[in-house]
Each structure stands twice: as structure tokens, then as C-alpha cells.
Amino acid sequence: MNDYISLIRRNVNYRNLWLARVVSNLGDWFNLLASAALITQLTGAGTAISYLFLARVLPIFVMSPFAGVLADRYERRAIMIVTDILRAITVLGFLLIRRPEQIWLLYALTVLQFVLSSLYTPAHSALLSNIVEPKDLVTANALDGFTWSTMLAFGALLGGIAAALFGLTTAFVLDALTFLVAAWFVGRIQVTRSVTLLTSTEENQGGLFQFVAGLGYLRARPFVLGLALAKAGGALAWGAVNVMEIPLAQDIFPINGNGTLTLGLVYAATGLGTGLGPLMVRRWVGAQHRTQLWAILGGLVALSAGILGLGFAPSLGWVLGASFLRSLGSGTIWVFSAAILQAVVDDEYRGRVFAFEFAALTLAQSISTLWAGVALDQLQLSVQDVLRWTALISLAACLLWAWFQTRTKTRLAVVAQA
């Protein structure tokens, strides 16, 4: 743990970026819970909640390619500040929604909010390697993952308390304030490492050409393309698990008939696995990229084993243990694939590569989520049957990654020197 505390203390720029992430993640959970509560108050329809999640996911997939071009064309810190300010204004628009016939405005504002989020994320990922030394990239990404997990565990709780005690208006106002505070922290960052943005010639060729050039960069570098698809491989499985956790908690392992309490425990175990897992794995694999690549394979194995454990779980304790194991795997995939990409991708293409990665992740997770719903409703599979089939999908991704590492062993030797 000393490495993480040391990084925050000695790198003031990373400290400001990390604090911005803490505050922003906290606001995200406030927003989700307040939006869901508002929809329930106005409509009471389950499908309305589904549309909310769709409005949060689709803009990210559609906008990611353009977001990558922006992150490589303009100053990344400025993109983050502007999007945070615009998101604060957008969130305040939720205060105008008071009647059921205004529900369309909630969806429109949600779409706008996540269009802006899709612009923020690639800029954040690309900026990280401009303010952190290569030797600290894994530490920084692991700490980012731990931060997200901590906010999963505590942010949702605080958001629920704020909405329950002080009302939805307070929750939305607090959400807007978190974006402004995050923008203030980002504004304090001073980029200390070289940043290579698009040349004037490339800028004059237009955004579509720059996007195609980014795809060409990936096509010419199969090793980088494989790394950029690592999270998508895991998302083909964990998207379905996210759906199945709800009926697993409510219908199979409720505590005294209370599935909400069970789900809270499952989320807590997931947060611990996602946050603590990469911290522990980093101590074992060290700073060499070769071993970090094998850590990704280990993460896929842990993900598969954890999902399989959920599919055969005989008790709640088993469910919690399996949830910890599968989230340890997903967290490991997330942290180490991002750290290696930040180290090996040329700076002028980094925004586009991370945008492609995020788009592929979102698409894979959407496919996995759809598969879970179809399997449960149309194929009439039980919850645990769906989880067992999902474990096989995860195992297939695991075998594909093992094949990828074998096929790129020459490139592994080069990366191992980094």
C-alpha cells in the first residue's frame, strides 16, 4: 500500500487527477440513484428503468470514435475541464423534470450527459501517461480501479441516503457540484511529460480521416489491437453477470426474504475484488510487461472460475466468494491492459486507441447483457444455467487470449525489455 500512498504524495499532478476521479465517481452514483428514483416516482414502470440504462450506454459506444480524435487533436486537460463544466450544467437540467409527460427530458439529458462522458474518458486515459512516469503506470491504474470500487461501495450508499433524507433536488445539486469540483482539480494539473498531438497536416485532413488513421494504426499493430480488445473479451462475460446478480440475490439467496440486502453484500464483495485484487496481483507480477501480460490471462481465468462458481453456488457465502474471485479477475484485466497500452501506444494515437477500446468494451458488454435477458426470458434457462453458459463464454475468451500471447511471443520479447 505504501507505493500508492507514495505516488499520491510525490506526484502532485496525479494527486489532482486522482482527486478529480474520486469526486466525479461519487457524483456518478448520486446521479444514477436519483435518476432511477425520479423515473420510479413519475412512471413506476420497469421498462422505463431499462431505457435509462440504455440512454447511459449507447452514447458512449456511438461517440467513442469521435472522442478519440478529439483527445489526440486538442489539449486533453482542457477537454476534461470543459466536459465537466457542461456535465454540471446538464445535471442541473434534471431539476426541471416534475411531471410524467416530461420523462423524455430525463432521457435526453441523460444522453447528453453521457455524450460528454464519452469525450472525457479517452482524454483522461491518454492524459494519465503524460503526468505519470512509466514505472508508475500500473500503480496509477490499480489505484484508479480501487477508487472506482470504493465509490461503488460507498458512493451508492451516500447517494441513496442523500436522496432519502434530503430529496432528489439535493442529490442532483450535489452531483452538479462534484463535476465543478472535479474540473477545479483538473485545472490544477500541469503536464510534465511530452504530449504529441496531431500535426497541422493531419488536422486539415478532417476528423473522419483521423479516425480511419487510428484504425489503421491498430490494424498495423496486432499486438496493440489485441491489448485494446482485452477488456471487451472480459465484458462478453461480466455484462451477463451484472444482469444475473439481481435475480440471484432476490429469488435464490434472499436474506429473510430481502433480496436487496443480499445484492448489497454481492456489490460489496465485487467492490473488494475489483479494488483489492489488482493491488495484490501487482505485488506478485512486478513491473515487467511480460509478467503483466500473463496477469491478464490470470485475470481471465479468475473471471471464468468466479462465474462458474456463481453458477453452482449452494449458499450465499459461496456466492460472495465467487463474486470476489470473478471481480478480482475483471479488475486485473482492466488495470494491466490499460497500463501496458499507456506504455506502448504512441502519444499522438493514444486518445483514439483508448476510445476504440472503450467502444469495443461497451459493445461487448451490451451484447452480453442482451444475451442474458434472451436466455432468461426467451430460452427459459434458469439463472444459474445462464451463469454456467456465461462461464463457458469467459473460458473461450481466456483460451483466445492464451492463443494471442503465443502468436505474439516475438512482440512479447520486445515489450519485456520496456
Q: Are residues 378 and 325 in the same domain?
A: yes
Residue 201 lies in a domain: no
Report the distance separating Cα 215 and Cα 199, nearest Å: 18
Name the band, by pLDDT with cuts 50, 70 and 90, for residue 209: low
Q: Are residues 80 and 228 in the same domain?
A: no
Tell me the average pLDDT across 231-252. Answer: 84
Mean pLDDT of the chain: 81
DSSP string, 139-169: HHHHHHHHHHHHHHHHHHHHHHHHHHHH-HH
Q: What percent of the chain has pLDDT over 70?
A: 84
89-129 pLDDT, tens digit each: 999 999 998 888 888 898 999 999 989 988 888 888 888 88
Residue 222 lies in a domain: yes
Task: Give residue 300's pLDDT.
Answer: 94
Q: Are residues 211 and 188 in the same domain?
A: no
Task: Give residue 64's pLDDT.
Answer: 75
Task: Give residue 45's pLDDT.
Answer: 53
CB contact at 8 A, 289 and 343: yes
40-83 pLDDT, tens digit each: 777 765 456 557 767 777 787 788 778 877 888 888 899 999 99
DSSP string, 236-277: HHHHHHHHHHHHIIIIIS-BTTBHHHHHHHHHHHHHHHHHHH
CATH code, 153: 1.20.1250.20
Which among 144, 168, 195 is the end of a domain?
195
Most confident by average pLDDT, 120-134, 201-215, 364-378 = 120-134
Q: Decide if pLDDT at 418 tops 70.
A: no
Q: Are residues 277 and 395 in the same domain?
A: yes
**At 255, phi and psi to the nearest 5?**
-100, 110
Q: Are residues 235 and 337 in the same domain?
A: yes
Residue 184 lies in a domain: yes
Q: Are residues 188 and 239 in the same domain?
A: no
Residue 119 lies in a domain: yes
Q: Which of the two residues, 86 and 61, has the higher pLDDT score? A: 86
Tell me the average pLDDT across 194-210. Answer: 50
Q: Are residues 215 and 189 in the same domain?
A: no
Q: Decide if pLDDT at 344 tops 80.
A: yes
Which among 143, 171, 195 is the end of a domain?
195
Task: Give residue 415's pLDDT.
Answer: 46
Task: Give residue 50's pLDDT.
Answer: 59
Task: Give residue 398's pLDDT.
Answer: 93
Task: Give residue 47's pLDDT.
Answer: 55
Tell me the average pLDDT across 217-225. Answer: 86
Residue 71 lies in a domain: yes
Name the band, by pLDDT with cuts 50, 70 and 90, for residue 286: low
Q: Are residues 394 and 358 in the same domain?
A: yes
Name the band, by pLDDT with cuts 50, 70 and 90, for residue 268: confident
The two counts, helices (H) then strands (E), for the chain are 17, 0
Q: Decide if pLDDT at 414 tops 60.
A: no
Task: Give residue 323's pLDDT.
Answer: 92
* Residue with cell string 489526440: 72
DSSP string, 54-95: HHHHHHHHHHHHHHHHHHHHS-HHHHHHHHHHHHHHHHHGGG
Best CA proximity match to 156, nearest among 33, 49, 270, 20: 33
Tell me the average pLDDT across 260-277. Answer: 76
Q: Which of the two residues, 186 and 348, has the higher pLDDT score? A: 186
Q: Are residues 184 and 234 in the same domain?
A: no
CB atoms within 10 A of CB 156: 19
Tell me the average pLDDT across 140-158. Answer: 72
Tell me the average pLDDT across 386-413. Answer: 83
Report the distance separating Cα 413 and Cα 135, nearest Å: 18
Which among 164, 195, 226 is the end of a domain?
195
Task: Give residue 383's pLDDT.
Answer: 86
Q: Are residues 17 and 132 in the same domain?
A: yes
Q: Are residues 156 and 225 in the same domain?
A: no
Nearest-10 crossing angle of helices 12-42, 137-166: 40
Q: Are residues 374 and 274 in the same domain?
A: yes
Task: Give residue 165's pLDDT.
Answer: 76
Q: Decide if pLDDT at 378 tops 70.
A: yes
Task: Give residue 407's pLDDT.
Answer: 78
Domain count across the chain: 2
Q: What percent of the chain has pLDDT over 90?
A: 26
Lowest mean pLDDT of 110-114, 217-221, 284-288, name the range: 284-288
Residue 200 lies in a domain: no
Best CA proximity match to 224, nearest among 351, 337, 329, 130: 337
Residue 384 lies in a domain: yes
Lowest mean pLDDT of 75-84, 131-140, 194-203, 394-403, name the range: 194-203
Task: Give residue 372's pLDDT.
Answer: 79
Q: Decide if pLDDT at 248 tops 80.
A: yes
Range of the domain at 161: 1-195
